[in-house]
Amino acid sequence: MLRLRRITSGASWIPQIDGLRFIAIAAVLLVHTFGEVTHQGRALPALPYSTHWIINIFQNGGRGVRLFFAISGYILARPFLRQHRLGGPAVKLRSYFLRRITRLEPPYILSLLIYTAALYLAFHRSLHAMLPHLLASLGYAHMLVFHSGSTINFVTWSLEIEIQFYVLAPFLGNFYRIENTVLRRGTIAALVLFFCFVNGRPIPFSGYDLTPLFYMQYFLSGFLLTDLLEYPRHTSRQTWTWDLVSLAGWPAIFLVGHIGDAPAWLPLIIIPVYLAAFYGKASNWFFRQPFVALTGGMCYSIYLMHMLIISASFHAIQYLQMPGNAGTIAVQMTLLIAVTLALSTAYFVLIERPCMDPRWPQKLWRKIRRLEGEEIPQIAAP
């Protein structure tokens, strides 16, 4: 465990953030393993009406993506707040975008190539037919070009939204230039409410839901959280009252609204439960637990690889039977999640973790230059 702690120590400056990522990726894993098992294998179990809330939580696991959007807003906003309000270093846009390329692009690109190879070798998909979709996915443009999620790895739709917001974040970072704290926070909060209202109504124009504007209330929630938590650095004592917020808020996130849909006003619940992760005694303890924080720290690798692993692994366990549908579904889901975590951890350690070092391109280049500069030993003539 200590070894794993050192592995992820460079990726998390606030343990609670990785803990919050744990909830988000757990929700995504639950909805996709549940969908694989019930759509490809067993029918929905005949549970008593009083326990239907369990299935509702599984089916609403897609809301984990919205949780990720709020976390992304927080992470991207943090350096801009530190620059404008805490006297931190100025954000250099060249370094800002270069870090994105060196940190996130290699795992993303490799994962798409792995998916393409698997679709070709295992599912006999045509390379010629897949090529346009692969190129569009590599350019984060599949939804814009084809108006649908990627046929290579459909979950990358959210990464396309994220990259668009990544471009917008430096502009939104100017909110932190507002010196008056009440005015600054009030402006951001008003925009959160505005987008909650607008995005809760019919889509105003074609393609609007393919842009970050449709999810802006989540990203801006992260900007508001950054202000609340970082300026000034929160020093409030942790209380059990905030744990009550967690107890009520987390189930509400996955139970309110229609099944499969995320209410546009969900940030009004997300903001307080995220604050509770810092201020609640039990909540703070939970989100700092090594397994929770470490798993959350690997969420990018898990998110990239989980659909391929789940789909491939299900073929090996689909005939595993337990007494009753509910038992079979529970065991199959547990096995799928366990395999996904194991293989995603390997992907994280081998591929993503090396990219966390900001200087890995320079180090790799130096190694290549050293190899090129080595003299080839000459074998003496007899």
pLDDT digits (tens, 9 = 90+) for 81-139: 999 999 999 999 999 999 999 999 999 999 999 999 999 999 899 999 999 999 999 99
* Pair of tokens at residue 81: 């707040």
H helix intervals, 41-92 = 52-59, 64-85
pLDDT in tens, 179-203: 999 999 999 999 999 999 999 999 8
| CB-based contact 199:241 (threshold 8 Å) | no
pLDDT of 368 reads 85
pLDDT tens digits, 317-372 = 988 888 878 888 889 999 999 999 999 999 999 999 999 998 898 888 888 888 77
State the average pLDDT over residues 37-56.
69
Q: For 81, how many CA atoms within 13 A lie in the half-sphere containing its CB?
A: 22
The conformation of residue 257, written as its DSSP 8-state character, comes to: S
| Torsion sign over Cα 163, 17, 234, 192 | positive
By mean pLDDT, which of 38-47, 230-239, 273-282 is the weakest?
38-47
Q: Determine what percent of the chain is predicted with pLDDT higher than 90.
A: 72
d(CA 85, CA 227): 9
CA distance 335 to 304: 19
DSSP string, 147-194: SS--SS-GGGHHHHHHHHHHHHHHHHGGGGG---HHHHHHHHHHHHHH
- pLDDT tens across 130-175, in order? 999 999 999 999 999 999 999 999 999 999 999 999 999 999 999 9
pLDDT score of 234: 56
pLDDT value at 381 more than 60: no
Q: Quick count: other Cβ atoms within 10 Å of Cβ 330?
A: 14
Give the alpha-carbon dihedral of 31, 7, 274, 262, to 10 degrees.
Answer: -20
**Looking up tokens 């549940």, which residue turns up?**
34
109 Rama class: left (phi>0) / alpha (psi -120 to 50) / beta: alpha
Residue 293 backbone dihedrals phi, psi, to 5 degrees = -70, -40
The residues with which 280 forms a beta bridge, in sequence order, are 239
Contact 112, 303 (CB under 8 A): no
Residue 374 pLDDT exceeds 80: no
pLDDT at residue 377 tops 80: no
Checking if the pLDDT of 5 tops 70, the result is no
pLDDT at 3: 41
Q: Determine the pLDDT at residue 4.
A: 41
pTM over 0.85: yes
